[in-house]
Amino acid sequence: MSNSDSGKGRKPTQKPTGTNSGKKAGPRKAASKASKSGSGRSSRTEATGQDSSTPRSSRSTASGPSKRTPARSSGRTTPSRDSSGSRPARSSGGSAERSFRRDSSDRDATGQRSSRSSSTSKSGPYKKRTPGSAKSGSWDASKRPAPRPRPSASAKTSNADSGKIRLNKYIANAGVCSRREADVLIAAGNVTVNGKIISEMGYKVDPTDEVRFDGRLLQREKKEYVLLNKPKNFITTTKDEKGRRTVMELITRASSSRLPPVGRLDRMTTGLLLFTNDGELTKKLTHPKHGVRKIYHVELDSNLKAGDMASIRKGLELEDGLIEVDEVSYIDGVSKREVGIEIHSGRNRIVRRIFEHLGYQVVKLDRVVLAGLTKKDLPRGHWRHLTPQEVINLRMIS
């Protein structure tokens, strides 16, 4: 038998088709594919006795009861292809028909929701627990921590000590002395509150209490703020044991209250110095964390070299640690002996020590800016009261 005769009764071998074939199927091939797919579906229908377009849930119900609960059918059917291999166009009412099929499965003949769907929603996996039905190891309402009791209005008032201040602060605000000196006067029994001698440290008084020192009635004074353009040869202190002149002599006419200076300037340093009896503002302006801006005009004994200026900008290691400045530059229109330096550090004699560390001597040192305050219209040795806006600006420093 020849090779041609032996191949007669055999089915032609079908070539595998893949996505990488790169050729489009012609009309004849598409038609043959459609006929094969149709014959395959018809054979399955004959074997099972079901139509392929029937939903899966309906097929399982028709074949008999199933052990597993059938999943809800989406009602979607796969349309068959025509002889050209394309799908038929969808009808405009297809989506409405499918939704009606889904809804009709949950409704009875009267149009009401069936008990099956309502019972399923009530007894689903997210069934609400009740304290009586809680099992061991589950939620128990009796074990819930009790809410924290809120403090009453009277407790808040007592904790805040509304309006009360320490007795030593009251005496200091009255301009008698400092707080530390007031503690000594209180311990000595020289202070009375409402006619009763008080020697207890930390005692607090109300604004309406009558406080007397050596029989003299003390009044809480209002807060005042005085700015001075300090000249040379004055010590920044309230009193000097050696009898040297202090800055307090320059502001005697500014106020009858006791106004201590905020910070300090050396005896030979000139410039802006603030005085106030506002303790909170004093603490804010002198604390390093607030970084109060200060600008100095420095005159040296020789020209400042460019390399030394770069070293100052980079930061210098002094005996008490690293010191960094905000800015340093030459002053326009004058020699390189005069420079301007901006710094926020409050260390003692810090500007002089920076230049002495590099081998320079400071001839003149003048503070021209302090926390935004300037020397405009304020001659040397004169003072002025701050404006309300300047006070607001100082209090806004954070």
Domains of the chain: 161-217 (3.10.290.10), 225-395 (3.30.2350.10)
Can you give the pLDDT at residue 367? Answer: 95
Can you give the pLDDT at residue 52? Answer: 45
Can you give the pLDDT at residue 21? Answer: 43
Q: Which tokens belong to 82?
A: 């025509």
pLDDT means over runs of 10, the chain (398 residues): 45 48 48 48 45 46 47 50 54 46 48 47 50 52 63 52 80 81 91 92 87 85 90 91 91 88 92 91 85 92 93 89 90 92 87 93 94 93 94 85
What is the pTM assigned to this prediction? Answer: 0.51
DSSP class per residue in 62-130: HH---SSPPPPP-----PPP-TTSPPPPPPTTHHHHHHHHHHHTTB-TTSSBPHHHHHHHHTSTTPPP-
Can you give the pLDDT at residue 369? Answer: 94
Contact in structure between 297 and 306 (CB atoms under 8 Å): no
Contact in structure between 384 and 227 (CB atoms under 8 Å): yes
- Which of 335, 260, 258, 248 has its CA nearest to residue 299? 335
Catalytic position from the list 266, 278, 326, 377: 266
What are the Cα distances from residue 307, in Å, to 97, 303, 312, 332, 354?
88, 12, 9, 19, 14
Cα 286 from Cα 281, distance rounded (Å): 9
Can you give the pLDDT at residue 60? Answer: 42
Residue 51 known to be catalytic: no
What are the Cα distances from residue 16, in Å, to 19, 20, 21, 184?
10, 11, 10, 107
Cα 246 from Cα 384, distance rounded (Å): 18
